[in-house]
Structure 1
């Protein structure tokens, strides 16, 4: 992928080190010290920690500068920590239980996110240099990476509301929570009435038949009573037994895996046997995470047909991926996040939606019948509605795929194959296709039939064990497993497109649990970070300095902005809705896009800046185009895959 690219990584910031590890995983040669920087194609540095001005001014290298805040930010130049950025960006306030205070996320989420976005931006810049001879600088900020993860919380702020912390619950689904078992914890997540019916029958708790729980809205209203009753059932079972029971009835569930026990988690042990044995024998140290791969690549098909070279190159300051054609099949966060960034980088992205459009289009709040959430995750795409139960629509998809460069999807493993789109078939119709499959547990998995949600992956990847509120495990408020999984897929795809190797088709496998484990092991290898939240009149402050009883007493009587100014290394913990009154957020992160009718939408800029071939967010898609089907042909026997086609909606995660 990036073979032949030489990288110099300078500095102590975690994002620099992680970015270097990612580039090395993609084939680049990485050094962490050098007397002569002339020999390097790429330099990764953090100018708020180390000197970078001369390298950036020379024009001789692709220089990626990862800083806490942007150069125009009023807080620029200060090497803020990951936790301080969590607090200032609103991320920290989204994590924790409703009855308690905000909780620090147990992994360096903003550093990790910055590393992933920086690696993708570097790969894009390498592609531009290879195809057009343009060398440019890149700026990535932890603050922009943090705010870009707020897509589930910003919609409420756009509507003038404040989104409350929900702990391990879902604001619109119930039951959806962490429940105690006989020997630990289990996450159970229901999203349909059918799942609730099956769970209620399995639990055999008579009170669950009460009218208070008859409808989803009633269950959400009475969620405290509901969760208490569910736990009377789970508390009688071992975690493994409860998990298997939920898997059998098609309900997403999984144990909260302790980081020290990750090596015994069956899917992790199956997919990363060497790392599991090493953890079991030696524990977790600063290098353990490097034994876990966040993506795998292989030939698209066993039959490697001759591939025609790509000829759609662009000149000048067009986006790095100008001329690249992408097909996206997926919903909610992971695949849409990948498609959004590929489009911002200049690719032509066609999003395939089911008839009636993606479910997330209708989520509240929004405008003109489309949700803010959907708009934030799907900018600059052309959208088409296809009913893949019908052969005519599958034929249209085949036509699109024949001329595509990339296919990215987050269906259940095997869903496309059931519809006739196996790797062999895809390789035959398009020998140079880059096909990226994103799933919860991977293609080769100990759980081939287990559904996966972000919350379950956070639990089973070690993230929840590292994030605690009042001593109890709690999920990261942002959809961290979904977002980080999408970022890892984005990097793998762009790195493949930057390759100077032959144009043979490539299959990229991305498991969200692998990415979550990679992040959790990195955090565990570093050890716990110092700091605490203090309650104030109007919220909380986060401090990493020494705190006295007098400081705590004074904070309670002061607004958080005043309290933070009087305590060493303290910053206010911002609410997400407060960001809309923050001049730095408005200038550096927020932007406006238009839809086909001319209406304006609040959207987020990408958190990386390429100096000469910028990534741009411009438009929000309207309703999906409807493909006109030909009149039905005379009835005939269905093709074999049709017996599975009705499952496609269930396979859309």
Structure 2
């Protein structure tokens, strides 16, 4: 992937450390230093974090950026401009000020800090993708540029499930382990514990209703998805009346048999005994059992695996084409062709970013369109959620049960550089597109498969949604409200899994020549476990959320203040009777680090969000849509978000279904 690339990681943020590990996994030669000064040893790229550096380090970084001799990637909390610039904001403080914290927890409880440094991890992933893109530009066009990545932008970009309500002047608060647009979707008690059950389609609902055997589930109150979301409290009570008659294992196996995503909550310390983790990461499991979880345990888990597209591939293929636009305005991936067969978040997120970076992305949708198109709110028959995740793509409708439509897909793949999909493991192969078939169609294809548990799995064929992966990857164990495990409000496993795939794909496109096509495997459980192990071995500062008259404020622990001390300061300041703004001012005057916990709907009035994150795009009919800029900014060949796709173009309409 990045063999021969030399990277220097020089910064105190966790995102810099994490990016170094990701670059190492991609084959780059990485040097990590915290020295006061650095020498020039022929690095292709230097990753820094200027906002937490010394004045002398910031001066060196400014000189490096001005010189234009390297790719310089600067990961900061909020960037160099804006109302929050110049402050060493922590991951938790960014979670609070963007509304990310307010989406995590139970509706009846307080906002909850995500138990892993989510914004640092997201920034590391995006920084790596940005650097790989810039290195490709440097090799093909001789352009070297600076990249700015902000934790604020990464946090806001993760709110695609919640922002649609804000766009329509609605509110979106904490939903615990539920999904704001799908039901049933929650953690349910069993005979011996808890199980996460997630449904998103009418077919999955019908299957759950059938096996549960609870007569009240046939009530008209649950006839449609909108009805089920409206009556979710009663629905969850009835589902739990069924799950409490089964053990967690029995309920999980039953859900797997009917094709419904489900799974138990796994503790981080118990990952070594979790069947799929142990299968895929035997060395890491043994190390955890022998030595516990240390600072570097996460390094034994890879967030992506790469292999040749086929085991018997041989023969040199042409070098990466240099027939790209020569002007500086062309995107880093100009000339790259991508086919996406995706739905919901992971593969669509990858396709969105590849398109923003200049690739031509063709999204394949089923005849009725992707399910997420119909979610509310939206406009013109398309949801804001779908628009946020699918900008700048050409959308086509294909029914891959039909040979004629499969033939059309083969034509697309023959000239493509990348195929990315997040269907259930084995689904693409059943349609006639296994790795051998793909290699026969296009021997230089980069094929990226994203799934919950990977293609080599203890659970072959088991479906998985974000919430199940959060539970089985350790994220929920680390994120707790009053001691009870709770999922990240944002689709954290989906988003981080998509980001890992994005970096792996872009890194593969950097190679000057490839002997054969490649297969990239992403297991979202791998990524979640990587994050959970890092967080356990490298704990972040703790803090407390304190109630105010109009919401909550986040108080951060430091060398002078432990949690109990912070609570005492909050009581002394009478925060419960103050607005968030006044509480923050009072606490800061007392020497306490405090920030207001924003609500997502308040972001649309936040100056930094409006200036640095929110943008506007048009669809083919001229309608305007709120969209999000990417959180990595390349100075010379920027990624751009421009258009929202309309209804998918129907290219084939065969009458006969070929049996599978």
How far apart are residue 194 of structure 1 and its match? 4.3
Dislocated runs of 4+, deviation >6 Å? none
| Conserved? CA contact 1:350–1:384, under 8 Å | yes
| Conserved? CA contact 2:319–2:512, under 8 Å | no
* Closer/same/farther in 2, CA of residues 326 and 562 from structure 1, 3 Å limit: same
Match of 2:194 in 1: 185
Matched pairs, number = 636
Q: Distance in 1 between matches of 2:124 and 2:639?
A: 17
Match of 2:614 in 1: 590
- Does 1:505 find its partner at 2:517? yes
How far apart are residue 235 of structure 1 and its match? 3.4
| Conserved? CA contact 1:340–1:381, under 8 Å | yes
Deviations 1:377-403 (A, max 9, x none): 111111111111111111111111111
| Conserved? CA contact 2:51–2:88, under 8 Å | yes
Match of 1:647 in 2: none
- After TM superposition, the score normalised by the length of structure 2 is 0.93
Q: Distance in 1 between matches of 2:622 and 2:403?
A: 35
* Closer/same/farther in 2, CA of residues 208 and 600 from structure 1, 3 Å limit: closer
How far apart are residue 479 of structure 1 and its match? 0.6
* Closer/same/farther in 2, CA of residues 89 and 503 from structure 1, 3 Å limit: farther
Match of 2:434 in 1: 422
Match of 2:402 in 1: 390
SS of 2:659 mapped into structure 1: helix
Match of 1:624 in 2: 648
Pick which of 239-248 and 114-123 moved more: 239-248
Aligned positions of 1:213-612 closer than 5 A: 213=222, 216-304=225-313, 306=315, 307-311=317-321, 312-317=323-328, 318-502=330-514, 504-527=516-539, 529-545=541-557, 546=561, 547-549=566-568, 551-552=570-571, 554-567=574-587, 568-612=592-636
Match of 1:129 in 2: 138
* Closer/same/farther in 2, CA of residues 204 and 592 from structure 1, 3 Å limit: closer
How far apart are residue 148 of structure 1 and its match? 0.5
Q: Distance in 2 between matches of 1:314 and 1:566?
A: 56
Deviations 1:178-216 (A, max 9, x none): 122333221012334443444345445565566655654
* Closer/same/farther in 2, CA of residues 216 and 401 from structure 1, 3 Å limit: closer
| Conserved? CA contact 1:68–1:141, under 8 Å | yes
Q: Distance in 2 between matches of 1:435 and 1:217?
A: 36
**Corresponding residue to 1:143 among 136, 140, 152:** 152
**Corresponding residue to 2:182 among 166, 173, 184:** 173
Pick which of 105-114 and 359-368 moved more: 359-368
Q: Distance in 2 between matches of 1:163 and 1:349?
A: 31
How far apart are residue 171 of structure 1 and its match? 2.5
Q: Distance in 2 between matches of 1:303 and 1:415?
A: 23
How far apart are residue 591 of structure 1 and its match? 0.8
Q: Distance in 2 between matches of 1:514 and 1:533?
A: 30
Match of 2:42 in 1: 39
Q: Distance in 1 between matches of 2:631 and 2:219?
A: 48
Deviations 1:361-380 (A, max 9, x none): 12111112211111111111
How far apart are residue 612 of structure 1 and its match? 0.8
SS of 1:37 mapped into structure 2: coil
* Closer/same/farther in 2, CA of residues 496 and 216 from structure 1, 3 Å limit: closer
Aligned positions of 1:46-57 closer than 5 A: 46-50=49-53, 51=57, 52-57=61-66
Match of 1:649 in 2: none
Flag structure 2 segments of 5+ consecutive residues without an equivalent: none
How far apart are residue 224 of structure 1 and its match? 2.6
| Conserved? CA contact 1:65–1:140, under 8 Å | yes
| Conserved? CA contact 2:405–2:652, under 8 Å | no
How far apart are residue 548 of structure 1 and its match? 4.8
| Conserved? CA contact 1:328–1:352, under 8 Å | yes
Q: Distance in 2 between matches of 1:220 and 1:623?
A: 26
Pick which of 301-310 and 203-212 moved more: 203-212
How far apart are residue 274 of structure 1 and its match? 0.7
Q: Distance in 1 between matches of 2:306 and 2:22?
A: 14
Match of 2:10 in 1: 10
SS of 2:254 mapped into structure 1: helix
Deviations 1:579-630 (A, max 9, x none): 111111100111111111222111111000111111111111112112155x
Flag structure 1 segments of 5+ consecutive residues without an equivalent: 645-653
Q: Distance in 2 between matches of 1:250 and 1:59?
A: 53
Pick which of 600-609 and 241-250 moved more: 241-250
| Conserved? CA contact 1:410–1:437, under 8 Å | yes
Q: Distance in 1 between matches of 2:331 and 2:72?
A: 18
* Closer/same/farther in 2, CA of residues 399 and 198 from structure 1, 3 Å limit: closer
| Conserved? CA contact 1:328–1:335, under 8 Å | yes
How far apart are residue 461 of structure 1 and its match? 0.6
* Closer/same/farther in 2, CA of residues 76 and 177 from structure 1, 3 Å limit: same
| Conserved? CA contact 1:305–1:428, under 8 Å | no
Q: Distance in 2 between matches of 1:438 and 1:460?
A: 16
How far apart are residue 64 of structure 1 and its match? 0.5
| Conserved? CA contact 1:305–1:427, under 8 Å | no
SS of 2:52 mapped into structure 1: coil
SS of 1:39 mapped into structure 2: coil
* Closer/same/farther in 2, CA of residues 343 and 222 from structure 1, 3 Å limit: closer
Q: Distance in 1 between matches of 2:408 and 2:223?
A: 42
| Conserved? CA contact 1:70–1:588, under 8 Å | no
- After TM superposition, the score normalised by the length of structure 1 is 0.94
Q: Distance in 1 between matches of 2:144 and 2:4?
A: 16
Pick which of 191-200 and 384-393 moved more: 191-200
Match of 2:169 in 1: 160
* Closer/same/farther in 2, CA of residues 289 and 459 from structure 1, 3 Å limit: same
| Conserved? CA contact 2:117–2:540, under 8 Å | no
| Conserved? CA contact 2:349–2:495, under 8 Å | yes
CA RMSD of aligned residues (A): 1.9
Q: Distance in 2 between matches of 1:302 and 1:261?
A: 34
Q: Distance in 1 between matches of 2:626 and 2:538?
A: 37
How far apart are residue 238 of structure 1 and its match? 2.8
